[in-house]
Amino acid sequence: MIRKVLMFIKRDFLMLFTYRFALVFNYLQMIMNLFLFVLFASMFGERVLTILEPYGGDYISYILVGSIGWGYLWSAMGSASGSIQQEMVQGTFEPIFLTPTSPYIIVFAYTVWGLLMGTFSMLTFLSLGVFVFKIELTGNILLALVLMGLSVLMMVGFGLMVAGLNIFLKQVGSFVPVIQAVSLFFCGVYFPIEVLPRILHPISRIFPFYYSITGLRMALSDKASVPEVAPYFWILLVLAVLALGIGMYFFRRGLNRARREGTLAYY
């Protein structure tokens, strides 16, 4: 199993470095977006904002944690569904899934690759935060890692759902950016939901990503105690179990249906 996963990762590395300019400009775009938000905040003349006190108060830390958490979670979700969609477009999906390799090993390899890229992005942003913006993450690092791990499992489950639907319905992946945009607005990634009209606040609780981002921020802040963060742990644990179970069901059903109908070979 490990050998097969490593072969998939090697293949993806070779493909990645074939398009070096695209790789460089992709990371430059992410870094520029971070600087854009930081410069936008500097117009107000204050780095520490009262509205952010529950999360430590520092706007740059708020943006950095939101960017890291959001990017890493979506890399976990998009790794499986995005890779499968790409294989289908290129016409390599059917040959790969007709090999003796278990479909779950293939999906696991896609997920590991996505997490590797997400980890690299996370380390890049952390380095910028520590060395350029002089931020200090003084909270409970271990608790933050636990919450991030549960969030990753949850997002992998969602990725399996999208992948399963995409296999036999096709073009489902085009709805993901819409969900992403709506979630970005309501989950407090770049601004606290407290700035939204009060009537919209309950909507944020509908999105699982809200509990990931908010819990992560609270864990990394010295303003919140472990009992205050504990509810986010239990919510994410339940969501992770449900998402993985439902995701594996959708993926298996989608793959079996596509095999019966003979639609694995085209997108």
Summarised one tens digit per residue, pLDDT across range 171-196 is 665 677 788 888 888 888 888 888 88
For the chain, what is the domain count? 1
**Tokens for 222?**
């010295």
Residue 68 lies in a domain: yes
Q: Quick: pLDDT tens for 143-178.
A: 989 999 999 999 889 888 888 887 777 666 567 778
- Residues ≥6 apart with Cβ < 8 Å to 142: none
The candidate with the shortest Cα–Cα distance to 151, out of 185, 181, 183, is 183
The residue whose two tokens read 């278990």 is 102
Q: E strand or H helix at 4, and its extent?
A: helix 2-18
User: Is residue 266 assigned to a domain?
Assistant: no
Q: Rounded to 5, what percent of the chain is helix, strand, coil?
A: 80, 0, 20
Q: What average pLDDT does range 214-223 have in this prediction?
A: 83
Opening angle at CA 127, ends 125 and 132, nearest 5: 100
Q: Which domain holds residue 212?
A: 2-261
- Is residue 267 domain-resident? no
* Residue of 58, 76, 68 whose CA lies nearest to 192: 58
CA dihedral 161, 162, 163, 164 (to 10 degrees): 50
Would you state the structure tokens that stand for residue 170, as one six-digit string? 């096709």
